[in-house]
């Protein structure tokens, strides 16, 4: 990701506007003053730059929690701040010339833009973690009447497949940079025909990070149409056994198992594994029940009023746990310009938390956007309101 290695961070006079970039204000970690966030607005992108020491280096880079939709915006913001703050840059991987803001491709979507797409599509397929995109692109090219959605959090993979969509002129394929586990909770019931999960990261040392879980399967069965299918394909015997045991935990399930099945298109990694004579496993679940409609109207707003600073300070680094959700107040920041406070939060379900900020303005709000519309996130939101307002 773009970054600057700087001699030291220097505070600039903000807010400051240059071209289409607005550098708004600076937040400082109340317990670690070497960690600062620079609030940036470029078009519809609102995000933070992060200044923090990494080993022997002082870095200015993109904040992962609020990362923008394009790396070009990060480069623009880094260069703009370095210029107005007169930072001494030791080295960088950003361009020194002005970076033109690219037009956002129509196939790159945000999570809240899919409701109409799902309503208008007669048949919809989702692939979770598409990697190089060989399977995803093949399916979209050979099934022009089917709407395809690829979900991936690896930016290079997104950029690579995005280019191929443009080159091949595919108008039935959309990409989403988001956690699939969270996205599934917002998808209308009985709206998806097929879900592909091909060669997910096994996470042998961190099994809680695996895509396949009881909750993920529950959500998959809810969003699948009648006779729709969830297809897992893996080369990992450990992941296969884990997934099989998860699925066998259901009282009633239509489950199909295949070993070393040949499919129309395979990834370069699968080709390599086949040459190495490694086994490939398939687990396919077919849905035979229609699910109830999903209640998705959650209000994540806050009331107006003066907040107690003592309550805010005492919440720093604390955790609230409920039966199906939690809130962790990770770090507390204060903005230099207006003395507003802000928390970096983890919240939602234990196995699939969201990371975002809560800016404690006269009417608090989440940054860069509200949590995903799920019951666990809403329960966490209610917990935050209770501790803030009593």
- State the CB neighbour count (10 A cutoff) for residue 196: 20
Is 294 a residue whose pLDDT tops 90? no
The number of folded domains in the chain is 3
Single residue among 64, 92, 120 that ends a domain in this structure:
92
Task: Based on the fold, state whether residues 157 and 12 are members of the same structural domain.
Answer: no
Instruction: Give the closest residue to 153 by CA, choosing from 15, 355, 343, 13.
Output: 355
Q: Which domain covers residue 187, as residue numbers? A: 108-286
Is a pLDDT exceeding 70 seen at residue 98? Answer: no
Whether the Cβ atoms of residue 38 and residue 49 lie closer than 8 Å to each other? yes
Give the pLDDT of residue 296: 66
Residues 131 and 275 in one domain: yes
For residues 211 and 341, membership in a common domain is answered with no
Q: Pick from 268, 278, 272, 260: which is nearest to 135 by CA?
A: 268
CA–CA distance, 79 with 82 (Å, rounded to integer): 5
Residue 301 placed within a domain: no
CA 180 to chain centre: 8
CB 144 within 8 A of CB 113: no
pLDDT on residue 67: 82
Reference 202, options 149, 243, 164; nearest CA is: 243
Report the mean per-residue pLDDT for the chain. 92
Flag whether 101 is in a domain.
no
CATH of the domain at 189: 3.40.50.150
Range ranked top by mean pLDDT from 130-134, 150-154, 185-189, 240-244? 240-244
Indicate whether this model's pTM tops 0.85: no
From CA 187, how far away is CA 115, in angstroms rounded? 7
* Domain match, 141 and 183 both: yes
* Cα dihedral: 200, 203, 207, 208 (round 10): -70
Domain membership of residue 299 (yes or no) is: no
Q: Which among 33, 66, 92 is the end of a domain?
A: 92
Does residue 232 sit in the same domain as residue 331?
Answer: no
Pair (151, 243) in one structural domain = yes
């Amino acid at each position: 990701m773009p970054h600057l290695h700087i001699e030291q961070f220097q505070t600039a006079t903000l807010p400051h506007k240059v071209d289409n970039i607005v550098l708004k204000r600076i937040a400082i970690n109340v317990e670690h003053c070497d960690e600062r966030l620079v609030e940036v607005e470029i078009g519809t992108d609102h995000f933070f730059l992060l200044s923090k020491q990494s080993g022997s280096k002082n870095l200015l880079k993109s904040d992962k929690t609020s990362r923008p939709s394009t790396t070009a915006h990060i480069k623009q913001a880094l260069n703009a701040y370095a210029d107005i703050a007169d930072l001494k840059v030791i080295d960088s991987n950003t361009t020194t010339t002005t970076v033109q803001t690219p037009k956002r491709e129509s196939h790159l979507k945000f999570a809240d833009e899919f409701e109409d797409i799902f309503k208008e599509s007669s048949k919809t397929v989702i692939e979770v973690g598409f990697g190089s995109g060989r399977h995803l692109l093949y399916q979209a090219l050979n099934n022009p009447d089917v709407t395809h959605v690829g979900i991936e959090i690896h930016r290079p993979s997104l950029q690579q497949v995005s280019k191929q969509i443009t080159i091949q002129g595919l108008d039935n394929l959309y990409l989403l940079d988001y956690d699939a586990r969270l996205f599934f909770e917002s998808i209308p019931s009985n709206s998806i025909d097929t879900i592909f999960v091909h060669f997910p990261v096994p996470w042998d040392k961190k099994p809680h990070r695996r895509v396949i879980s009881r909750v993920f399967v529950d959500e998959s069965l809810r969003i699948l149409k009648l006779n729709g299918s969830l297809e897992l394909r893996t080369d990992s015997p450990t992941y296969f056994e884990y997934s099989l045991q998860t699925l066998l935990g259901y009282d009633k399930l239509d489950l199909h198992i295949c070993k070393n099945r040949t499919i129309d298109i395979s990834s370069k990694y699968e080709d390599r594994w086949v040459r190495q004579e490694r086994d490939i496993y398939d687990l396919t679940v077919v849905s035979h029940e229609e699910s109830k409609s999903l209640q998705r109207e959650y209000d994540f707003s806050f009331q107006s009023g003066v907040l107690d600073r003592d309550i805010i300070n005492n919440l720093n680094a604390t955790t609230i746990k409920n039966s199906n959700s939690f809130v962790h107040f990770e770090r507390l920041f204060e903005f230099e310009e207006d003395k507003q406070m802000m928390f970096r939060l983890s919240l939602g379900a234990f196995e699939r938390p969201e990371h975002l900020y809560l800016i404690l303005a006269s009417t608090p709000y989440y940054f860069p956007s509200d949590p995903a519309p799920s019951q666990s996130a809403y329960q966490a939101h209610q917990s935050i309101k209770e501790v803030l307002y009593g």
